[in-house]
Structure 1
């Protein structure tokens, strides 16, 4: 089964990214054979910036993304969204990739389920 999760909001400030990644991690735990792709758009591209510092006891989106990656999840970042935020030359966390609308279209068409946050 192929599942696509699309995130649109910044990593912090509300809990959409946190809840999307909680769901992603739970899906991977329950079904180890799923093909999971997380596509970061708009302000969500900030989720893939490395070296995030969070308060003690507070969730860390970078660590959550790395957990998804270690279980063979794919993290794609909208290139246009990165450019629009001045992040075109920023290194992404290891395992996250710059992507395109064309690739998102292909992933959407071939996915069994698409979930947006």
Structure 2
């Protein structure tokens, strides 16, 4: 079981902003998972990987694939209080789900 968080590389986010956006995405996708997936993931150590996404379009395309596969996912839009314009898409979390299911969606992406 794991979760993949895809963060955009085509926008400027400081380290703290990136960390916050990754956390928002992780929690949002977790909340969309059913109880069984949540429990399995928590008992397995809540494995996560953070991956590079080159554009907003990429995140939306990956989310559509995850939707088709029935994998919980969540796109995060920034509130715009600090570094980014309001509504800027920053991250996408996919899972928790089995490693194999998540890899079918994100396996071609590089680690952040």
RCO (CA 8 Å, sep 6+): is it higher in 1 or 2? 2
TM norm structure 2: 0.28
Query: Structure 1 length normalisation: TM-score?
Result: 0.28
